[in-house]
Amino acid sequence: MSQKVAVVTGSSSGIGYETSLILARNGIHTYASMRKVEGGGSKQIIDIAKNENLPLQVIQLDVNNDKSVTEAINRITKEKDRIDIVVNNAGYDLMGALEETSIDAIKAQFETNFFGVVRVMQEVIPIMRKQREGIIVNITSLGGRISFPLNSPYHATKFALEGLSESIQYELEPFGIKIIVIEPGGVGSNFLKNLKMSTKMSDPVNSPYGSMQSSMSEYLKQWAQNTMHPSEVARVILQAVTSENHDFRYVVGKDAAMALESRRNMSDREYQNLIKKQFNL
Ligand SMILES: NC(=O)c1ccc[n+]([C@@H]2O[C@H](COP(=O)([O-])OP(=O)(O)OC[C@H]3O[C@@H](n4cnc5c(N)ncnc54)[C@H](OP(=O)(O)O)[C@@H]3O)[C@@H](O)[C@H]2O)c1
């Protein structure tokens, strides 16, 4: 059997970086794709791949850009003639009260977290359909199932991705294409460093949402101390894509499992009260 071929978006850091490495370490020819191939993440992963003699190549792919996605996927199929696994991982978080967040910022959030995934899927589905097999892994989030204040555009993108993934699995199953959804809780990656804030979020004194923002800042400080290493998410992705009988959905992290369990056992009102207490609302 020929060697499996994978492509992972957003491999310059965090979950994408670790996923590219673990797939390659398990014998899957992996294209670690990233929008900036000159950066530190690129050099680091190339050095590791060289030292360990891994089947890993770095490739430029900006999920926001049609041409970049098409060129990357074309190059992979030209070199390998197939794509078995795609991990749609690239994404970031936009925070702020909806009222204080520009439409452009919200559109940009959707462009990466949602349309970026659609763009990659539309390129790879025809290839996988012709192969009559393939696995598409969409990294959503605990935030694709439940939501917190001051983060509505991010949640909207991840809820949207959950809905898209659920629907499309039926459409793709007859062609042998499988969809897997990964829902991590807090991960200690570059996620907080890469977080974008609405302009007014950085000016809490003059915002009607100021006190809510202070609670959120406190929450984020605590959150950052209780995150898991991105390699834990990567391990679950490897397990899912190599399983003969994988699940549709994988919740990763104790925090995510506990939050979803509480949500399941509470009414909407009870759950809202819990969140309000958590954020001093
Ligand atoms: N961290 C968490 O707590 C957490 C929890 C649940 C879900 N997630 C999800 O997990 C995924 C990975 O996040 P992470 O935690 O690993 O954060 P991260 O370390 O910030 O990694 C995000 C990756 O996405 C890339 N990216 C952003 N925009 C891109 C674009 N237009 N084209 C290609 N790549 C792009 C970044 O590249 P650059 O280096 O070029 O910016 C980076 O490689 C995201 O979808 C996130 O929503 C994260």
Exposure string for 192-218, b = 16+ CB within 10 A, e = fewer: eeeebbbebbeeeeebebeebbebbee
Distance of CA 5 to the CA centre of its chain: 19
Scan for tokens 């003699």, then name that residue: 53
Checking if the pLDDT of 206 tops 90, the result is: no
Specify the residue with its C-alpha closest to ligand 1, atom 36.
Answer: 10
Tell me, what's the pLDDT at 280?
Answer: 83
The answer to whether the CB of 24 falls within 8 A of the CB of 78 is no
Pocket of ligand 1 (CB under 6 A): 9-10, 12-16, 34-36, 41, 62-64, 89-92, 112, 116, 139, 141, 184, 186-187, 189-191, 194, 230
Question: Ligand 1: which atom is nearest the Cα of residue 189?
Answer: 19
- Report, in angstroms and rounded to the nearest whole number, the Rg of the chain calculated over CA atoms: 19
Positive or negative, the Cα torsion across 268, 272, 275, 277? negative
Instruction: Name the residue type at position 247.
Output: D
**C-alpha 41 – ligand 1 centre gap (Å):** 12
The answer to whether the CB of 18 falls within 8 A of the CB of 48 is no
Question: Ligand 1: which atom is nearest the Cα of residue 64?
Answer: 31
Average pLDDT over residues 50-67: 98
- The pTM (predicted TM-score) of the whole model is 0.97
Closest residue by Cα to residue 6 from 252, 15, 22: 22
Tell me, what's the pLDDT at 1?
Answer: 64
Question: Ligand 1: which atom is nearest the Cα of residue 140?
Answer: 7
Scan for tokens 């590791």, then name that residue: 48
**C-alpha 32 – ligand 1 centre gap (Å):** 13
Question: Ligand 1: which atom is nearest the Cα of residue 16?
Answer: 16
Percent of the residues in the chain that have a pLDDT greater than 90, as a whole number? 89
Euclidean distance between the first and the last CA atom of the chain, given in angstroms as a whole number: 57
**C-alpha 76 – ligand 1 centre gap (Å):** 22
Confidence of residue 153 (pLDDT cuts 50, 70, 90): very high
pLDDT in tens, 3-14: 999 999 999 999
Closest residue by Cα to residue 109 from 56, 69, 161, 68: 161
* Three-class secondary structure of residue 89 per DSSP: coil
Which residues make beta-bridge pairs with 197? 95
Q: Point out the residues that are catalytic.
A: 154
10 secondary structure, DSSP code: S
**C-alpha 50 – ligand 1 centre gap (Å):** 24
Tokens of 87: 């991990």
| Top mutation candidate among 93, 118, 194 for ligand 1, by most atoms within 8 Å of CB | 194
**C-alpha 13 – ligand 1 centre gap (Å):** 7
Closest residue by Cα to residue 84 from 124, 25, 116: 124
| Top mutation candidate among 7, 34, 71, 120 for ligand 1, by most atoms within 8 Å of CB | 34
CA atoms of 159 and 18, how far apart (whole Å): 24
Q: Look at 207-216, 240-249, 254-263 and tell me which has the smallest mean pLDDT.
A: 207-216
CA atoms of 227 and 95, how far apart (whole Å): 19
pLDDT in tens, 83-109: 999 999 999 999 999 999 999 999 999
Residue 64 to residues 44, 115, 164, 178, Cα–Cα distance (Å): 24, 7, 18, 24
pLDDT in tens, 256-267: 999 999 999 999
Checking if the pLDDT of 203 tops 80, the result is: no
